[in-house]
Structure 1
Amino acid sequence: VIKWRRVCLKWLWVLATPGRYYPEILVLELGVDRPSDMHYLLSFIRPTVGVVTNISSSHLEFFHDLDNIAKEKGELIEALPADGLAVLNADDTRVRAMAKRSNAPVQTFGLLEQAEVQGSDVIFSYKDGVPQGLSFKLNDEGRVVPLRLPHIVAPHLLYAVLAAVAVGIYFKVNLVEAASMLQEFRSPLGRMQLIAGIKRSTIIDDTYNSSPVSALAALETLEAIVAKRKVAMLGDMLELGIDSEAGHRQVANRAFEANAAVVIAVGDRMGRAVKDAARHYMGVQAFYFDDPELAGKFLRTTMKDGDLVLVKGSQGMRLEKAVEEVMSESDRADEFLCRQTPEWRKKAYVKP
């Protein structure tokens, strides 16, 4: 309570002295996890530019289907002024359809040819066999700028980069200048972060949260990267509602198809899905745990030199605890892992 009071007092002071402290451009994330959240947020926020990146099943428990999620997020686009800008993912059909709801001009982004701000020719970079980010071509109205992202390893994170470029164009940021600045782009902790592991392994830490869409994207990255041996540790995906069983089954099957030599499930939901999928795939070792720390300790004993390990699960699965067991510098967990505040560190894992 005391901390929240400090935050409120700080921003009341900022609002009281806008000329001195208030930013020229304020970037806000309007998170919605149940119906009417966007309506509430827009009751006191008046955005000029609105960005919708994708429609996924993260909160199906409360929205019941993807169309309802799209309807909710589309309220942001409807609220934009005529002199603003709607920035929409052209590769997502539900997002692309929001253009009809916009009073503002629309700028699309994506990896397919239909996008106005497009990324193409994506390739991975390596040094001594270890992934070192990726490169791609940035295309906008006939202009092509090569761009290397040394801190980004997941192609699906390029959507955030392309959306940023589209917003930058609206605010008159030069394309070459934008490309130069984006070379320092890093994803937030727990979102497809590359971390050095024990035994000269590489960990893809994607433990912040999980849904079928993001888990499938992470597994595509695991499959695409060249490595001696691949391991997938997957935790339960929560808040999926009636689609939970189908979503876990889809992700489990994809894990076995992604050239993983070992698949480790953490949690009952993923455990059942992995056990069922294992019956149809030969030559892949499958294991189940109901505790993230135990899973991490097991992984520590089974890792081999040069392994590439993907770790992903919903926030409630606390799989950052497993990553801490196998990272080469566990004493620096607070620098590299999500949920490392004293409050989070004190919270014991509670099986959902």
Structure 2
Amino acid sequence: MLPFEDVCAKHSPFSKWLFHPVKRRLARSYLKILQKYTDIKVIGITGSAGKTTTKEMVASILKLDGRTVCTPKNIDSVYSIPNTILATPPGTKYLILEMGVEYKGEMDFYFWMAKPDIGLITNIFPTHTQFLDNIEGVFREKSKLVLGLPGNGKAVLNSADAKLKSLSDKLTSEIIWFKPDINPITQNANAASALARALGVSEDKIKKGLSEYKKPVHRLQVINHVSGALILDDSYNSNPWAALSTLAYFNKLAKGDKIAVLGDMLELGTYDESAHREMGRSVAKSNFKTVIGVGKSSKFLIDEIKSHSKGTETFLFEKAEDATPIVRRSLKKGVSLLIKGSRSIGLDKIVDALP
């Protein structure tokens, strides 16, 4: 069911902006009451990649240990956090809030509404640099999640992330480190498990919760296609780190001829060209038979592949739909296909259009 202000917004686009400031204040006051008079634990999760998957894994585990409420998928944190807080009934043991940030000062706003007891940061990479300037800006904003924790709080951090490791001398809360992994899903599971252990959840519940977690479509989804081809569909979203990570994982899985459909990585600001060129150089080293770029910035990626991998066939399209015919006729036994790009590029349409 849509929130009240979204129903009203269908009739007046201004109603959402009218109701939300009130809703945020109500959410802030209500959560203060819950934290004062109940034993609710508030968990904040952020990071440059993997935060939604990690949040869903954490929820899958914690629901086995008590009533758990978490922010829904695919809704901007600005709207989902107050809605989720107000939907949290008394007696809830765990409240999980995904705190995605794109702008300077956004984490301060979340902390005004909700003060977590536990903070988890998956990683720090140059994402949303169009608004956060550079990796230092990303780090500065996202690290506020754990820098603002109370002295008896717990910070769950990636042990392989140099930026996050630099926080070890600055935090007053307990730090729990989780291990990285070449498989992003395994790394997210490591993060979720570390957080659950920090809350005293048993290993049996952790294993059961992870086994019951259902991976969303278009997120590192391995598909055994009817043609006999192997498809790694990671078309839900992309950023420089996620793209390189997915490429490394795909190279481990792939057998036979490798084909890639790679869409633009968005909101990179001044990093746009360099990030796409870096991705292109990495792809060029991976011995692909065919690479299809989709979007305006993918021209930089294709340029690098042409320069460094003469044997790779390349195509460049503005729209995802234009790439579908080539993908269809390329699928056969012995082919491995990688699909990765930012959500608004629409590469999921290619997957959905396959027989």
**TM-score band, normalised by shorter chain:** 0.7 to 0.9
Which 5+ residue runs of structure 2 have no aligned equivalent? 7-22, 28-81
Mapping of residues 268-347 of structure 1, within 5 Å: 268-326=296-354, 328=355
1:36 is aligned to 2:144 = no
Mapping of residues 1-352 of structure 1, within 5 Å: 3-5=2-4, 15=86, 18-19=89-90, 23-111=92-180, 155-326=183-354, 328=355
Q: Deviations over 1:241-272 (max 9, x none)?
A: 11111100011121121232111111121123
- TM-score using structure 2 length: 0.73
Write 1 or 2 for the structure with the bigger share of strand: 1
Letter in 1 for 2:101: V
Q: Deviations over 1:304-351 (max 9, x none)?
A: 22322111111221111111222x4xxxxxxxxxxxxxxxxxxxxxxx
Partner SS for 1:260: coil
1:303 to 1:221, Cα distance in 2 relative to 1, 3 A: same
Letter in 2 for 1:260: F
The separation in 2 between residues aligned to 1:266 and 1:89, in whole angstroms, is 32
Which 5+ residue runs of structure 1 have no aligned equivalent? 112-118, 120-153, 329-352
Partner SS for 1:101: coil
Number of aligned residues: 283
Cα shift at 1:96: 1.7
The separation in 2 between residues aligned to 1:237 and 1:269, in whole angstroms, is 8
8 Å CA contact 1:49, 1:84 repeated in 2: yes
Letter in 1 for 2:225: G
The separation in 2 between residues aligned to 1:4 and 1:298, in whole angstroms, is 42
8 Å CA contact 2:259, 2:335 repeated in 1: yes
1:95 to 1:186, Cα distance in 2 relative to 1, 3 A: farther
Partner SS for 1:159: helix
Q: Deviations over 1:44-74 (max 9, x none)?
A: 1010110011111221111111111111111
The separation in 1 between residues aligned to 2:240 and 2:283, in whole angstroms, is 12
Divergent runs of 4+, >6 A: 6-14
8 Å CA contact 2:273, 2:300 repeated in 1: no
Q: Deviations over 1:127-183 (max 9, x none)?
A: xxxxxxxxxxxxxxxxxxxxxxxxxxx612222111111111122112344234323
Q: Deviations over 1:272-328 (max 9, x none)?
A: 3213421321322111111101112221022222322111111221111111222x4
- TM-score using structure 1 length: 0.74
The separation in 2 between residues aligned to 1:276 and 1:51, in whole angstroms, is 36
Q: Deviations over 1:57-107 (max 9, x none)?
A: 221111111111111111111221222200011100101222333221111
The separation in 2 between residues aligned to 1:272 and 1:169, in whole angstroms, is 44
Partner SS for 2:300: helix
8 Å CA contact 1:297, 1:325 repeated in 2: no
1:285 to 1:88, Cα distance in 2 relative to 1, 3 A: same
Q: What's the Cα RMSD here?
A: 2.5
The separation in 2 between residues aligned to 1:296 and 1:99, in whole angstroms, is 48
